[in-house]
Amino acid sequence: MGENSKNAVLILKDGSIVHGKGFGAEGIRTGELVFSTAMQGYQESLTDPSYAGQILISTYPLIGNYGISDYAFESKRMHAEGYIVREACNSPEHMDSKMDLDSFLKEQGKPGMQGVDTRSLVLKLRNYGVMPALICVSKEQVNVAELLKNLKFDYENIDFISNITVQKPEEYGEGEKTVVLIDYGAKRNIITELVKRKLRVVVMPSFATAEEIKTFEPDGIMLSNGPGNPAILTHAHKVINELKDLPIFGICLGNQLIAHAFGGDTFKLKFGHRGVNQPVINLKDGRVRITTQNHGFAVGKIPKKFLVSEKNANDGSVEGLDYDDGHIFSVQYHPEATPGPHDNVHLFDRFVKIMR
What pLDDT does 148 receive?
87
Mean of the pLDDT values across residues 148-168? 94
> Among the three residues 153, 182, 216, which one is the final residue of a domain in this structure?
153
Pairing status of strand 111-114 against strand 82-84: parallel
Q: Is the pLDDT of residue 146 over 90?
A: no
- Same structural domain, 123 and 173: no
Asked if 348 and 277 sit in the same domain, the reply is yes
Asked if 44 is an active-site residue, the reply is no
Is the peptide bond between 341 and the residue preceding it cis, with omega within 30 degrees of 0? yes
Q: Side chain identity at 18, as an amino acid letter?
A: V
How far CA 8 is from CA of 15, 22, 36, 144, 179, in Å, comes to 16, 5, 21, 11, 45
Q: What is the pTM of this model?
A: 0.95
Expressed as residue numbers, the domain containing 187 is 161-354
**2 or 309: whose pLDDT is higher?**
309
Upper half-sphere CA count for residue 281 (Cβ side, 13 Å): 11
Whether 123 is in a domain gets the answer yes
**Inside any domain, residue 2:** no
* Same structural domain, 104 and 215: no
Summarised one tens digit per residue, pLDDT across range 217-250 is 999 999 999 999 999 999 999 999 999 999 999 9
- pLDDT exceeds cutoff 90 at 99: yes
Same structural domain, 144 and 227:
no
Among 99, 129, 153, the domain boundary falls at 153
133, 81 Cβ separation under 8 angstroms: no
Mean pLDDT of 138-164: 91
Contacts of 203 (CB under 8 A, 6+ apart): 166, 169, 170, 171, 172, 180, 181, 183, 186, 191
Q: Which band of pLDDT confidence, cut at 50, 70 and 90, is reported for residue 3?
A: very low
State yes or no: pLDDT of 4 exceeds 60: no
Is it the case that residue 1 has pLDDT exceeding 60? no
- pLDDT-derived band at 150 (thresholds 50, 70, 90) equals confident
Question: 149 and 196: one domain?
Answer: no
- Considering the domain architecture, whether residues 250 and 327 belong to the same structural domain is answered as yes
Positive or negative torsion for Cα 290, 293, 298, 304: negative
Does residue 192 carry a pLDDT above 70? yes
Contacts of 285 (CB under 8 A, 6+ apart): none
User: Annotated catalytic, 89?
Assistant: no
Residue 228 Cα distances to 49, 164, 191, angstroms: 10, 12, 21
Q: Are residues 263 and 218 in the same domain?
A: yes
Distances 62 to 8, 112, 300 between C-alpha atoms, Å: 18, 14, 36
The catalytic position among 79, 273, 295, 334 is 334
CATH of the domain at 172: 3.40.50.880
Reported confidence tier of residue 356, pLDDT bands at 50, 70, 90:
confident
Give the separation between CA 214 and CA 156, rounded to whole angstroms.
31
Tens digit of each residue's pLDDT (9 = 90 or more) over 29-88: 999 999 999 999 999 999 999 999 999 999 999 999 999 999 999 999 999 999 999 999
Q: Tell whether 37 and 165 lie within a shared domain.
A: no
Lowest-confidence region among 116-120, 265-269, 352-356: 352-356
Statement to judge: residues 91 and 175 lie in one domain: no
Q: What is the pLDDT of residues 315-333, one digit of tens each?
A: 999 999 999 999 999 999 9
Q: DSSP secondary structure string, 12-76?
A: ETTS-EEEEEEEE--EEEEEEEEEE--SS-HHHHHT-GGGTTEEEEESSSEE-TT-B-SS--SSS
Q: Is 156 a catalytic residue?
A: no
Contact 331, 251 (CB under 8 A): yes
135 found inside a domain = yes
User: For the domain that residue 57 is a member of, what is the CATH number?
Assistant: 3.50.30.20
Same domain, 200 and 331: yes
Give me the half-sphere count of Cα atoms (radius 13 Å) on the Cβ side of residue 315.
11
Active-site choice (74, 252, 273, 319): 252
Task: Provide the pLDDT for residue 141.
Answer: 85
Q: Are 242 and 343 in a shared domain? A: yes
Same domain, 146 and 176: no
